[in-house]
């Protein structure tokens, strides 16, 4: 279970005059599961309504948006009275009903004593449209695939997240722990964080079946392209989607439109890219030429990298064979370390909730994978597939911007070497804690800024 999301749901429940909750995220990331578990565990009754599967629900909203009338009719429909405060109402796949989506405003204003949580797999697309929703009337939560630490929890290996989030010093982990974490990381690279794939791997563990599950998820995404994307964008979305393994296989992973189609131009494909981003299927990192605030103000919208939402799905889309799971570093170094960079991007977004930027010098002679901001300071973060830590780009960034620390994440153990801090790949979501240890020397009894603590 996603402990951080569940805690946020508890916080929402205990708040005063609450807004309805809107849970966003890509299809099959576990939105429905966690809302149902929350409803079963924390309320007397849970009332679940799915706007994709129950077409008749729309009638209750088409006739007007008075929340008391809607509640009365939904109670009659379910043959049981829905009570305020004590019961949870779940509106799933709410993007299929504009009226239901807009009714949340009136529940907020006229019936805040009813607890309503809504979810949708294409809500990002829906809400990106003009005048699609009354802003400020709901609380938003974003759902992502399981992080590496959540994957460890699912495998019964919670001892490792507990150990890493309780670090007191910047010193190497015992070799036996480091090696086992590298092996578990290798498994995560193949399985990824999609809940169904993780659940199956934690049980029967058949990797061929895990790959079959991943292929089914990818097929469901392609079906979504055909069903829900604008007709003019469907071929472009498919071309971009199919090109992603090739884009990430390049040494310079900057997204190149000519790799999508020879005649492709940025302005013709931007709406298709935006659709994929709004649907939660891709993550974009934008280039900045300087390491100064505000990064968003310096970003170059025409220069960016694209990552998949989940590293396991990347392997399936790229057709990485099951046999590469054999011991060794083959999976880490597969097609120019694309897995490693995608993994880092995924953890930064899902575990630490940061926007993705990377540094590219103005002369384009040097490039760093990510810039990470903590406590108002911008740190360069280099991602390496193996154990060779040398980097001219990191040194180039240091000469130009003099950050207090240089961050590098590799397969090496945790250590501080002068100004450079090496973070094992498996501990990248511990960045806030590691930075506090590096800057303060010791942790003073608390875990700062970590969603997974």
Domain boundaries, the chain: 3-143, 148-440
Instruction: Please state the rounded mean pLDDT for residues 139-144.
Output: 93
> Taking the alpha carbons of 310, 315, 319, 323 in that order, is the dihedral positive or negative?
negative
Instruction: Please state the rounded mean pLDDT for residues 336-348.
Output: 90
If residue 78 lies in a helix (H) or strand (E), which one and from where to where? helix 67-78
Flag whether pLDDT at 446 surpasses 60: no
For the CA atoms of 446, 449, 451, 453, the dihedral, rounded to the nearest 10 degrees, stands at -10
pLDDT of residue 389: 65
Flag whether pLDDT at 447 surpasses 50: no
- Of 17-21, 29-33, 347-351, least confident by mean pLDDT is 17-21
Token reading at 121? 């797999």
Confidence of residue 5 (pLDDT cuts 50, 70, 90): very high
Residue-wise pLDDT tens digits, 230-267 = 999 999 999 999 999 989 888 788 898 888 887 778 88
Within 13 Å and on the Cβ side, how many CA atoms surround 146? 25
pLDDT of residue 40: 97
Average pLDDT, the chain: 90
pLDDT of residue 379: 97
Flag whether pLDDT at 277 surpasses 90: yes
Instruction: Please state the rounded mean pLDDT for residues 9-22.
Output: 88
Are 385 and 333 in contact, with CB atoms under 8 Å apart? Answer: yes
3 state DSSP class of 120:
strand
Residue with tokens 């409803």: 39
CA distances in angstroms from 288 to 51, 269, 285, 344, listed in the order given:
42, 22, 10, 18
Residue-wise pLDDT tens digits, 411-432 = 999 999 889 999 999 999 999 9
What share of the chain in percent tops pLDDT 70?
Answer: 91
If residue 188 lies in a helix (H) or strand (E), which one and from where to where? helix 175-191
Flag whether pLDDT at 342 surpasses 60: yes
Flag whether pLDDT at 442 surpasses 60: no
Flag whether pLDDT at 388 surpasses 70: no
3 state DSSP class of 410:
strand
> Cα separation of 373 and 376, whole Å?
6
Q: Of 121 and 175, which is predicted with more confidence?
A: 175
Flag whether pLDDT at 334 surpasses 90: no
Q: How many whole angstroms from its chain centre is CA 61? A: 32
Residue-wise pLDDT tens digits, 295-323 = 999 999 999 999 999 999 999 999 988 88
pLDDT of residue 262: 78
The closest alpha carbon to 118, from 57, 195, 192, belongs to 57
The 3-state secondary structure of 335-395, one letter per residue: HHHHHHHHHHHHHHHHCCCCCCEEEECCCCCCEECEEEEECCEEEEEEECCCCCCCCHHHH
> Cα separation of 237 and 272, whole Å?
5
User: What does the buried/exposed string (b/e) look like for 155-169 if buried means 16 or more CB atoms within 10 Å of the residue's CB?
Assistant: beeeebbeebbebee
Flag whether pLDDT at 443 surpasses 60: no
Place domain 3-143 in its CATH homologous superfamily. Answer: P-loop containing nucleotide triphosphate hydrolases (3.40.50.300)
pLDDT of residue 453: 34
Are 228 and 237 in contact, with CB atoms under 8 Å apart? Answer: no
CA distances in angstroms from 408 to 25, 116, 394, 434, listed in the order given:
30, 43, 9, 12
Flag whether pLDDT at 395 surpasses 70: yes
Instruction: Please state the rounded mean pLDDT for residues 94-121.
Output: 92
- Quick one: residue 21, left, alpha or beta (phi over 0 = left, psi -120 to 50 = alpha)? beta
Instruction: Please state the rounded mean pLDDT for residues 169-190.
Output: 95
What share of the chain in percent tops pLDDT 90?
Answer: 75
Per the omega criterion (within 30 degrees of 0), is the bond before 294 cis?
yes
Long-range contacts of residues 437-440, Cβ cutoff 8 Å, at least 24 apart: 437/167, 437/168, 437/169, 437/170, 438/170, 438/405, 439/404, 439/405
Instruction: Please state the rounded mean pLDDT for residues 215-222.
Output: 97
pLDDT of residue 327: 61
Flag whether pLDDT at 3 surpasses 90: no
> Taking the alpha carbons of 105, 111, 114, 115 in that order, is the dihedral positive or negative?
positive
Flag whether pLDDT at 4 surpasses 90: no
Flag whether pLDDT at 48 surpasses 70: yes
Instruction: Please state the rounded mean pLDDT for residues 210-221.
Output: 97
pLDDT of residue 450: 42
């Amino acid at each position: 279970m996603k402990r951080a999301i569940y805690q946020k749901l508890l916080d929402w429940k205990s708040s005063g005059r609450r807004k309805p909750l809107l849970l966003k995220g890509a299809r099959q990331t576990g939105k429905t599961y966690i809302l149902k578990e929350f409803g079963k565990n924390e309320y007397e009754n849970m009332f679940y309504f799915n706007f994709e599967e129950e077409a008749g629900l729309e009638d209750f909203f088409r006739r007007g948006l008075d929340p008391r009338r809607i509640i009365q009719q939904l109670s009659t429909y379910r043959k049981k009275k829905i009570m305020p405060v004590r019961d949870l109402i779940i509106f799933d796949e709410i993007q299929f009903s504009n009226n239901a989506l807009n009714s949340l405003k009136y529940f907020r204003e006229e019936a805040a004593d009813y607890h309503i949580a809504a979810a949708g797999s294409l809500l990002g697309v829906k809400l990106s449209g003009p005048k699609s929703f009354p802003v400020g009337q709901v609380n938003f939560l974003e759902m992502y695939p399981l992080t590496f630490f959540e994957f460890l929890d699912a495998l019964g290996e919670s001892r490792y997240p507990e150990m890493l989030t309780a670090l007191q010093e910047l010193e190497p982990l015992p070799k036996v722990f480091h090696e086992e974490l590298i092996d578990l990381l290798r498994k995560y690279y193949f399985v990824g964080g999609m809940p169904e794939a993780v659940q199956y791997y934690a049980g029967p563990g058949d990797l061929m079946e895990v790959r079959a599950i991943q292929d089914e998820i990818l097929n469901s995404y392609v079906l979504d392209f055909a069903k829900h994307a604008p007709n003019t964008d469907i071929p472009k979305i498919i071309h971009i989607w199919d090109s992603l393994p090739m884009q990430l296989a390049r040494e310079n992973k900057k997204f190149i439109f000519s790799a999508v189609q020879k005649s492709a131009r940025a302005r013709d494909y931007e709406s298709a890219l935006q659709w994929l981003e709004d649907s939660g299927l891709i993550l974009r990192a934008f280039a900045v030429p300087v390491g100064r605030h505000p990064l968003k103000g310096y970003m170059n919208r025409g220069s960016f990298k694209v990552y998949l939402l989940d590293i396991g799905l990347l392997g399936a889309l790229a057709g990485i064979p099951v046999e590469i799971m054999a011991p060794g570093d083959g999976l880490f170094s597969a097609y120019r370390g694309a897995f490693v960079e995608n993994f880092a991007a995924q953890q930064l977004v899902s575990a630490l909730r940061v926007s993705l930027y990377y540094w590219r010098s103005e002369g384009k002679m040097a490039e760093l994978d990510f810039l990470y901001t903590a406590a108002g300071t911008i740190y360069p973060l280099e991602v390496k597939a193996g154990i060779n830590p040398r980097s001219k780009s990191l040194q180039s960034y240091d000469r130009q911007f003099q950050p207090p620390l240089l961050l590098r994440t590799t397969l090496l153990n945790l250590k501080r070497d002068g100004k450079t801090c090496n973070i094992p790949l498996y501990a990248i979501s511990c960045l806030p804690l590691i930075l506090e240890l590096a800057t303060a020397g010791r942790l003073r009894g608390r875990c700062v800024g970590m969603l997974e603590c």
